[in-house]
């Protein structure tokens, strides 16, 4: 009598590259521009991907990103560092999920020393855009690699998410509003390049990660 054999996960022997957390852009050695991202979503995606049998490279700007079983953790600080590490690991990636809340702006000049405050001090900071990491990865990926990301919007959620997906040439995008930043629970919407739209009700980041990876597996799991 044959034993029941559990089918292998679509992610078995696949490599998933995941980014998470904020990045920091320094004004001087102690002050920086950043955001309130906790990195929970990327962390949950990394854990769930390992549970499904994938090899995971987790490039994260979260300051509390300690070692996690089965995950290659790559800590970074700036957007430039995150981009460099993602490009270094892109060649082996079958799926890329950009869940990081990357800082979109960086100072044109960084002071070598702490900027002193005086009673009449006025500070003007000139900023320039940082590199668009996901757009760069989409342009460099090998054939067959699936690249997706997140769109956090404060208005016109689906319209702006679809525009971002097209602009960055992504295979899918997960849209959510600003209430998701730093929260332990959130709702979201999964959109793919073929026009499909799947709504996820409010839930924990762990459950949301399962649903997101389930959508990816159902579309590209046999690739």
Catalytic amino acids? 35
Give CA–CA dist 67/29, Å, rounded: 27
Give CA–CA dist 92/70, Å, rounded: 16
Give CA–CA dist 160/179, Å, rounded: 16
The answer to whether 59 and 29 have CB atoms below 8 angstroms apart is no
- How many angstroms separate the most distant Cα atoms in the chain? 86
Give CA–CA dist 142/89, Å, rounded: 12
């Amino acid at each position: 009598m044959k034993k029941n054999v559990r089918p292998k996960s679509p992610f078995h022997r696949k490599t998933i590259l995941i980014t998470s957390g904020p990045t920091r852009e320094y004004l001087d050695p102690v002050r920086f521009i950043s955001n309130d991202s906790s990195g929970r979503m990327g962390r949950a995606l990394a854990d769930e991907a390992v549970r499904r049998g994938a090899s995971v490279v987790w490039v994260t700007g979260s300051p509390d990103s300690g070692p996690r079983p089965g995950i290659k953790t790559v800590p970074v600080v700036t957007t430039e560092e995150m981009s460099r590490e993602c490009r270094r690991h892109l060649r082996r990636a079958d799926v890329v999920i950009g869940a990081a809340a990357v800082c979109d702006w960086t100072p044109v000049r960084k002071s070598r020393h702490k900027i002193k405050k005086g009673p009449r001090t006025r500070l003007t900071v000139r900023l320039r855009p940082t590199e668009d990491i996901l757009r760069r990865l989409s342009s460099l990926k090998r054939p067959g690699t699936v690249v997706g990301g997140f769109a956090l919007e404060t208005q016109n959620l689906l319209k702006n998410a679809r525009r971002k997906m097209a602009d960055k040439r992504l295979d899918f995008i997960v849209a959510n509003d600003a209430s998701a930043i730093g929260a332990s629970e959130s709702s979201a919407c999964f959109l793919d390049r073929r026009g499909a739209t799947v709504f996820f009700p409010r839930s924990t980041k762990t459950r949301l990660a399962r649903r997101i990876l389930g959508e990816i597996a159902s579309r590209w799991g046999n690739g």
